[in-house]
Structure 1
Amino acid sequence: MIEQTTPLNVAILAAPEATASTIYGMFDLFSSPGRDFLFITSGAAGTPRMRPYVVAGDGSPFRAANGIWVRPDHALSDCPRPDIVCIPDFFVNPGESVAGQYDAEARWLKRAHDDGAMLASACSGAVLLGEAGLLDNREATIHWGYVETLTNNYPGVKVRPDQSLVLTGEAQRVVMAGGGSSWQDLALYLIARFVGLKEAMEVAKVYMLQWHDMGQQPFAALMRFRQTSDAVINRCQRWAELNYRTPSPVTAMTKLSGLSERSFVRRFARATDMKAIDYIHALRLEQAKQMLETGGLPVEAVANEVGYEDASFFGRLFRRKVGLTPAQYRIRFGALRRALSRD
């Protein structure tokens, strides 16, 4: 933790592809340490320990990705020297390169890092760390839907989508938060590291924030349909989507393909980046997740409905792939259904 006598400068890097909710949500959380908890408990606001400001391009106002006007406090050229730089989520196409689109921001980030600043990204904002050359041959995390955006474009990056936070670089001065609302975890971590654990806990209490210690795994889709140029495999995929409950589905797909077993296994893996049996498991588990979220069937019945006769095998597989047991998943993600049932 850094000893401080003046508020820490926290620059929030914005661009039209960012969402205003994350930009200003970060602004609110970083404005809170030292100020809000004392106000709530005593009626007198305390002294802020951090000074956030929004920095962007030439400093001109712009509409963010969700249509909200953002009015930066500073341009890149006149920004006060930051102690911390935060990069919110960016709407970029998953898997695609953004090379050349954020050159000015990338250069500014690299200078800030070289000057000793802590760099922190939320969700797809990690792409700008890659553009600044700070992820090459390093561990990283990003929203589970954007893993290929890093692996396709930055050499040697080792993405850990199972982790909510990943720290890397010299003195661990680069930190990434995985996805969605994990920017809240990122803010709490930075407050705890640079101001103090007590202050971070106070902010969590003021805003009723919960630390996502389970990581991204329970939230991630186990698969996404990948359209390929292989018509035979596409036909098998479509069949699997409707028939994954049937016994021996891989054998059935092999027969449908008209290929030998060895050729089918190799061709399916090449087209989908998944083994055929893993593809079936992913389809079954995604259906099981939906049933656990929205219904009240016993776990054994859910296992049977999606194609598993052995409920204990289903439970072990679910735990390994999702990160929670089926019962834990239902408790975690069935709360909305339970709330609606009380209406």
Structure 2
Amino acid sequence: MSNAPARPSPPGAAPRHVSLIALPDAVVSTLAGLYDVMSAPGRPGLAGGDGRAPFQVEIVGEATGPLQLASGVPMTVQRSIDTIEQTDIVIVPSVLVRGEAWHKGRYPRLVAWIERMHARGATLCSACSGIFLLAETGLFDGRDATVHFGYASIFGACFPSVAIHPERVLVVSGLREELVCSGASTTWHDLVLYLIARYAGATQAQDVARAFALQWHQDGLAPYISFEGRHDHGDAEIASAQQWLATHFSVANPVEEMIQRSRLAERTFKRRFSAATGLAPIAYVQRLRIEDAKRRLERTDAPIDEISWRVGYEDAAFFRRLFKRTTGMAPGAYRKRFCIPEFARP
């Protein structure tokens, strides 16, 4: 089998079969959205369609008929996996992870079927938290992947052999580029546009994006991730320093003041702080300051130079560089993206 990734199908080629998996943990919005958008290319009157669909999309599952999803809404499973010997693309939609863990082994038939489809050449895709089910196949071990940043720690504990990158929108891995996953929530838009571009061509993807008003998350997911800091480390001295820092991060020289307030030598404090939180003290301070700046940009009209000063930076140019390095966006662009638009304000 060739290791080269698939290219758009030539005109007149048979449509690629897409198996969109429905399971009780699935989230209805992602499942329905994927179905609608993947079915759009070629549709007359939509996305420049000429009636020749590049995809045949089916909702598949362990048994046909109505299936109640995690949202409490029923979805009709159109075809049983027992009747599918080969498919081109398998997509697992977002799933709801209940509690503090994903419980493996609940869907052995689905996992075994996914493994068989992969062995027969299928591209495996997950949207958001759908990677939990795909990871049970072991095919992502030693590979890069992404997941909703809210589930990153749970996923890491459950599948330590998978390199997880929650800040990334889309990750494509595998020898044939046949393992594809998208990150948080509506990055399934990026997944579906990627698949349309890959298998039906860039023009089709652009037409669908316009028809559905979809946008690529080209700035990544770092702007969406809130910094909270680790507090489960069990080091009481460092926990006390974190508690103080949470309300004093904007003071001058906060690291030096933390050290003075502690009962530890400077080298010991820095070593224990880094071990407990995963960040050096100055990096932790910077993350707290940037997080406060994000809230001010979202909720106020204060000038950026004033926000820089209020969070602890007299040098506004340095603040701007640090903000962009941390979030992937300049402060002004961040404000434009996340502030409530004028028409929606009470």
| Same structural fold, with TM-score higher than 0.5 when normalized by the shorter chain | yes
| C-alpha displacement of 1:2 | 3.0
1:201 aligns with 2:209: no
**Structure 2 Cα separation of the partners of residues 214 and 93 of structure 1:** 29
| C-alpha displacement of 1:238 | 1.8
**Structure 1 Cα separation of the partners of residues 342 and 232 of structure 2:** 36
1:77 aligns with 2:82: yes
The equivalent residue for 1:62 is 67
The equivalent residue for 1:340 is 344
| Secondary structure of the structure 1 residue equivalent to 2:17 | strand
**Structure 1 Cα separation of the partners of residues 266 and 88 of structure 2:** 58
Q: Which moved more, 1:153-162 or 1:190-199?
A: 153-162
Equivalent residues, number: 338
Opposite residue 248 of structure 1, the aligned amino acid is N
Contact 1:57–1:105 at 8 Å: present in 2 too? Answer: yes
The equivalent residue for 1:2 is 9
**Structure 2 Cα separation of the partners of residues 164 and 217 of structure 1:** 9
**Structure 1 Cα separation of the partners of residues 63 and 46 of structure 2:** 38
The equivalent residue for 1:90 is 95
| C-alpha displacement of 1:272 | 1.8
The equivalent residue for 2:45 is 39
1:132 aligns with 2:137: yes
The change in CA–CA distance for 1:88 and 1:140 in structure 2 (over 3 A counts) is: same
| C-alpha displacement of 1:301 | 0.4
| Secondary structure of the structure 2 residue equivalent to 1:170 | coil
Find 1:220's aligned residue among 220, 225, 239. 225
Find 1:274's aligned residue among 274, 279, 298. 279
Contact 2:20–2:93 at 8 Å: present in 1 too? Answer: yes
**Structure 2 Cα separation of the partners of residues 16 and 224 of structure 1:** 33
**Structure 1 Cα separation of the partners of residues 47 and 206 of structure 2:** 14
- CA distances 1:266-295 after superposition (whole Å, capped 9, x unpaired): 222222222222221111111101111121
Q: Which moved more, 1:50-59 or 1:104-113?
A: 50-59
Contact 1:10–1:83 at 8 Å: present in 2 too? Answer: yes
| Secondary structure of the structure 2 residue equivalent to 1:71 | strand
Find 1:179's aligned residue among 162, 184, 190. 184
Contact 2:171–2:180 at 8 Å: present in 1 too? Answer: yes
- CA distances 1:91-123 after superposition (whole Å, capped 9, x unpaired): 226974533233332212111110111111111
1:13 aligns with 2:21: yes
- CA distances 1:28-86 after superposition (whole Å, capped 9, x unpaired): 01111100xx31589x9834332211122334533322222122112332246321111
**Structure 1 Cα separation of the partners of residues 64 and 273 of structure 2:** 50
Q: Unaligned stretches of 5+ in structure 1?
A: none
Opposite residue 85 of structure 1, the aligned amino acid is V
Contact 1:135–1:154 at 8 Å: present in 2 too? Answer: no
**Structure 1 Cα separation of the partners of residues 293 and 186 of structure 2:** 24
| Secondary structure of the structure 1 residue equivalent to 2:126 | strand
**Structure 2 Cα separation of the partners of residues 233 and 137 of structure 1:** 33
**Structure 2 Cα separation of the partners of residues 255 and 9 of structure 1:** 65
Contact 2:41–2:47 at 8 Å: present in 1 too? Answer: no
Taking the TM superposition and a 5 Å limit, the aligned residue runs for 1:154-173 are 154-173=159-178
- CA distances 1:121-163 after superposition (whole Å, capped 9, x unpaired): 1111122222111111112222223333444343543333343
The change in CA–CA distance for 1:268 and 1:60 in structure 2 (over 3 A counts) is: farther
Contact 1:94–1:149 at 8 Å: present in 2 too? Answer: no
Superposed CA RMSD: 2.3
Taking the TM superposition and a 5 Å limit, the aligned residue runs for 1:235-250 are 235-250=240-255
Q: Which moved more, 1:254-263 or 1:112-121?
A: 254-263
1:108 aligns with 2:113: yes
Q: Unaligned stretches of 5+ in structure 2?
A: 1-7
Q: Which moved more, 1:51-60 or 1:82-91?
A: 51-60
Higher helix share: 1
**Structure 2 Cα separation of the partners of residues 222 and 142 of structure 1:** 17
The equivalent residue for 2:32 is 24
Opposite residue 342 of structure 2, the aligned amino acid is R
Opposite residue 29 of structure 1, the aligned amino acid is V
**Structure 2 Cα separation of the partners of residues 112 and 143 of structure 1:** 25
The change in CA–CA distance for 1:202 and 1:337 in structure 2 (over 3 A counts) is: closer
**Structure 2 Cα separation of the partners of residues 255 and 225 of structure 1:** 22
Opposite residue 139 of structure 2, the aligned amino acid is L
